[in-house]
Amino acid sequence: MEILSKQVHKFFGQDERRIKEHYPGITEKRLIEELESFLVAKCRDIFVYKDDTRCIEGSGYIQEFFSKLNDGVPLAYITGKSHFYNLEFVITPDVLIPRFETEILVEQALKELQKIIITDTKIRVADIGTGSGAIALSILQASAKSLSVVATDISEKALKVAKKNYFMLEFSIDPKSTFEIVQTDKLRNVEGKFHLIVSNPPYIRAIEDRPFVHKNVIKFEPAVALFIEDAKYDDWFRELLFQVYNSLYAEGIFIMEGHEFHLDDLLELANEIGFTGSVLKDLTNRKRFLRLVKTKNEEVVDG
């Protein structure tokens, strides 16, 4: 491990400014940990890889690691994993890397679940745009109540990652809970009503908001997870809110992560549809989430 520390120290010394530009806030200590975990994953089974000199000598994979760092590849895509809500998730370039602030959405969802009292059926939860499954699986894992969770995504490749994560975490989830994956647009054709719907949808306007996005996010993370065309933005969210409204039971709750510049407009739209609700802030006091309640037992038609 001494060798790894020395190599990371050397790499850092060569161009610290550029490394910190690619990886804001990164430390040498963190890089050593990530390199160790990368090597362990690559060379987990030394017997399988006994002919792989990159494993035996270590050096080939170390060079691969540094070369990816030079290109600015996000650490989660290099190591193939990321931590979210105290759980480890498999991550590939087909899914968004789960963000720390999204844990607030999970916390809020768990608070809402505590308040729901039903006895005749399981609490039904939907996660729209599940990606790696980070939100849905964290809720399933941490909930004190048995749940029936439906996770949707438009991306087939993302859903494969969500499925893998479910298999990895299944043992830590209440066996009475269920997890279903559906490939669809938002909640289209998903049957039945839900007590709670959560979502971290793509919410960046492709042109207007692009200057505020880190260049490596644009370069490496899936566009479908990030952007909505500016001209389609309002219609996209209008459709989402209508689908959600009609899929909630009366008194059902919708919690959504969104863009700080657009949440007030979305709240206005939600009020027009029939929701009551508010914008919630994150730990840095930035507008970050919508919490909406469907107060009436009705269905509405977009028109």
Ligand X SMILES: C[S@@+](CC[C@H](N)C(=O)[O-])C[C@H]1O[C@@H](n2cnc3c(N)ncnc32)[C@H](O)[C@@H]1O
Question: Of 248 and 256, which CB lies nearer to ligand X in the complex structure?
Answer: 256
Shortest Å, Cβ 24 to ligand X: 19
Count CA atoms closer than 13 A to 176's CA, side-chain side: 9
Calpha distance 255→105 (Å, rounded) = 7
Please report how close the Cβ of residue 25 comes to ligand X at its closest, in angstroms. 19
Q: Does 102 interact with ligand X (rule: CB under 6 A)?
A: yes
Under the binding rule (CB under 6 A), the answer on residue 130 touching ligand X is yes
Q: 8 or 126: whose CB is closer to ligand X? A: 126
Q: For residue 165, state whether it binds ligand X (rule: CB under 6 A).
A: no
Identity of the residue, 159 or 248, whose beta carbon is nearer to ligand X in the bound complex? 159
- State which of residues 77, 109, 131, 255 lies at the interface with ligand X (CB under 6 A): 131
Residue of the chain from 135, 169, 241, 266 that contacts ligand X (CB under 6 A): 135
Q: Does 98 bind ligand X (CB under 6 A)?
A: yes
Specify the stretch interacting with ligand X by CB under 6 A; choose among 26-34, 73-81, 152-160, 283-291: 152-160
- Minimum CB separation from ligand X for residue 40, in Å? 24
Choices 7-15, 54-62, 96-104, 259-267; region in contact with ligand X by CB under 6 A:
96-104
Which of 90, 194, 195, 202 lies at the binding interface for ligand X (CB under 6 A)? Answer: 202
CA distances from 34 to 72, 159, 220 (A): 14, 26, 18
What are 32's two structure tokens? 């050593």
Among 134, 140, 196, 292, binds ligand X (CB under 6 A): 134
**Does residue 201 belong to the site contacting ligand X (CB under 6 A)?**
yes
Of 29-37, 69-77, 126-134, 205-213, the window that binds ligand X (rule: CB under 6 A) is: 126-134
Instruction: Specify the stretch interacting with ligand X by CB under 6 A; choose among 95-103, 112-120, 163-171, 248-256.
Output: 95-103
Q: Are 173 and 231 in contact (CB under 8 A)?
A: no
Touching ligand X, residues 23-42 (CB under 6 A): none
Q: State in angstroms the smallest separation of the CB of 130 from ligand X.
A: 5
Scan residues 4-23 and list those touching ligand X (CB under 6 A).
none
Q: How far is CA 147 from CA 119, 143, 287, in A?
A: 12, 8, 29
Site size for ligand X (CB under 6 A):
23
Min CB(102)–ligand X separation in Å: 5
Which residues are near ligand X by CB under 6 A? 95-96, 98, 102, 128-132, 134-135, 152-155, 158, 185-186, 200-202, 224-225
